[in-house]
């Protein structure tokens, strides 16, 4: 009897121990699973914290700085979050922020252009009044010394008018005066008269052709900006060579300087501005702002000529080429201008601007 009781007790204890062992093993498995789950949650939380920090410190500033440029935007820091709802919400926040920044920049740019446009119109009017006063003084005086001083003032006023004119064009105004068709050589001479270092410009003409009426003032302004850029970025003792050459279905104004040239990034930026295909933010033109290429690009896109600065000059600097298609060219005869192209688009509206005077006794366009 006692033996049977001992056996029963033994098997009961063994069963109890087995149950306890199973429970302990199961509890250990549960604890291990919970630890792994908690570790995964902590890792995911740290990854999301890092992703949020990356959003604030990298992605949003990149969206703000990109502006109108099509630059690749930074992506997720942890690729394992790709396709998750969290990553989608981060992308939505980035896009909404970029949209808000673009709208704010557009409003600021429009406000700045409106203010500049109104200011430049007022300055152009003052320059025009000053030009008329200088012309009247030139008519009244015959003293060579006085005339020489008046011509210097006249030349300074023409530079002032050109700067105001270029900024006004950049802000949406028309170039100004509606001129009669003029020989291409006279157009280039007129542009030369509007820059400070006009004495350094050497013009070599190989064409006997004229620029159509509606394009004279835009071409004068564009060539003047190119000549000014060439003169300012080259040594004062060097010449700026200008060649007027016939081309297939048009003519070219080729400007060579002996300056420092441009690197690849500068050429890319200049090409983008000269194309005139994208809106120009006046707040992103440098400090101090460089209005020249941006204004040329707007004129080129509006009137149908092309400008490039992606070729190296034989003198080590930059070669700028302004190509005028046949539609913008005419022949000036005794009976008046005759159009080279089959059809010429109608003239564009114009506004009165300051006149540009040549630093000699002969006035040019």
pTM over 0.75: no
Tell me how far apart the alpha carbons of residues 355 and 352 are, in angstroms, rounded to a whole number: 9
Please state whether 281 falls in left (phi above 0), alpha (psi between -120 and 50) or beta: beta
Q: Per residue of the chain (365 residues), give pLDDT as tens.
A: 666 677 777 778 788 888 888 888 888 888 888 887 777 777 777 777 777 787 777 777 777 776 555 566 776 766 667 777 877 877 788 878 877 877 877 787 777 777 777 777 777 778 888 888 888 888 888 888 888 888 888 888 888 888 888 888 888 777 776 778 889 999 999 999 889 899 999 999 878 899 998 899 999 999 999 999 999 888 889 999 999 999 889 999 999 999 888 888 888 888 888 888 877 766 677 667 778 888 899 999 999 999 999 888 998 899 999 999 999 998 866 555 443 333 333 333 332 333 333 333 333 33
Residue among 11, 10, 36, 32 nearest 24 (CA): 32
How many Cβ atoms from other residues are within 10 Å of residue 358's Cβ? 19
| Residue 318 φ then ψ, to 5° | -115, 140
Q: Output the pLDDT for position 187.
A: 93
Q: Output the pLDDT for position 348.
A: 30
Q: Output the pLDDT for position 72.
A: 67
């Amino acid at each position: 009897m006692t033996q049977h009781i001992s056996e029963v007790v033994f098997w009961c204890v063994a069963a109890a121990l087995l149950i306890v062992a199973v429970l302990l093993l199961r509890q250990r498995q549960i604890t291990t699973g919970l630890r792994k789950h908690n570790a995964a949650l902590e890792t995911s939380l740290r990854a999301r914290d890092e992703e949020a920090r990356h959003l604030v410190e990298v992605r949003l500033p990149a969206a703000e700085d990109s502006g109108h440029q099509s630059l690749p935007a930074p992506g997720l820091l942890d690729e394992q979050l790709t396709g998750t709802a969290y990553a989608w919400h981060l992308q939505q926040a980035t896009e909404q922020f970029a949209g808000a920044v673009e709208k704010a920049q557009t409003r600021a740019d429009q406000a700045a252009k409106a203010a500049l446009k109104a200011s430049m119109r007022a300055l152009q009017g003052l320059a025009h009044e000053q030009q008329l006063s200088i012309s009247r003084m030139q008519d009244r005086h015959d003293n060579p010394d006085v005339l020489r001083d008046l011509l210097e003032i006249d030349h300074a006023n023409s530079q002032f008018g050109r700067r105001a004119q270029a900024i006004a064009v950049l802000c949406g105004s028309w170039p100004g005066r509606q001129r009669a068709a003029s020989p291409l050589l006279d157009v280039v001479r007129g542009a030369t008269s509007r820059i400070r270092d006009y004495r350094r410009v050497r013009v070599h003409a190989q064409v006997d052709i004229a620029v159509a009426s509606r394009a004279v003032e835009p071409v004068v302004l564009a060539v003047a900006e190119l000549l000014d850029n060439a003169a300012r970025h080259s040594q004062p003792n060097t010449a700026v060579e200008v060649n007027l050459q016939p081309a297939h279905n048009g003519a070219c104004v080729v400007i060579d300087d002996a300056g420092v040239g441009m690197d690849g990034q500068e050429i890319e930026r200049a090409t983008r501005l000269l194309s005139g295909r994208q809106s120009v933010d006046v707040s992103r033109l440098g400090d101090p702002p460089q209005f020249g290429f941006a204004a040329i690009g707007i004129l080129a896109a509006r009137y149908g000529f092309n400008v490039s600065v992606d070729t190296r000059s034989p003198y080590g600097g930059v070669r700028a080429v302004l190509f005028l298609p046949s539609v913008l060219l005419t022949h000036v005869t005794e009976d008046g201008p005759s159009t080279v192209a089959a059809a010429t688009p109608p003239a564009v509206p114009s506004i009165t601007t300051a006149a540009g005077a040549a630093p000699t006794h002969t006035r040019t366009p």
